[in-house]
Structure 1
Amino acid sequence: MRFTLIKTARHRTFHHNPIYYDEAKEERDDRNRRIRDELGLEQEEDNRSNEDRIRGKMRRKIQTHFDVARKEKRKSNLRLIVILIGLMIAFYYLFNTSKEWIMHYM
């Protein structure tokens, strides 16, 4: 029996159970990989197609982002123009009625 004043911490273990693990998919991917290796197919073609798909998705996302921004700017500009026209009409009406009111009481 050993007595110590300072206790050292025990190592902590990490155990992770994957939530979305598909064993059939893993086996299918391994089988496809082995078949490609046996037939001598290059994996670079797959990587290139993946890169092209990623670039295409990024391009579409960026393009849609710019389209949305352009539409929002157009909406805000139109809204600003409508507000300015409304204010001009209101000031014109107030100016003309104030002239009549001032002339009437003077």
Structure 2
Amino acid sequence: MIGRFFHTPAAKRFNITPRFYDPEKEEREERERRIKEELGIFDEKKDDGKPYKPNVKGQFRKTQGGYSKTTEKARRASNTRLIILVMILVLIFYLFFYSDFLG
């Protein structure tokens, strides 16, 4: 029991081996790339002279058409609840400190 109380679990290991690794294909592609570089042939599809810059930011919202209506409704409802809560707290504060209502 005491030994289990101070037990710390071992770190989990992540070991993955590639499923479809073809060393011959990689050698062939590397050889083709070197030959094309030596001959000065550049693949137009792969390299347009610009470094690759991913454009991921905001892509999900663009495909979904911006914010959804349910998100806007939830935001509006949350703001309304917050305003009502603040008004109730101000009313309680006023009645407690500035009114002779409670005695």
Q: TM-score range by the shorter chain?
A: 0.3 to 0.5
| Rg larger for | 1
What TM-score results when the alignment is normalised by the length of structure 1? 0.35
What TM-score results when the alignment is normalised by the length of structure 2? 0.36
Q: Larger helix proportion, structure 1 or 2? A: 1
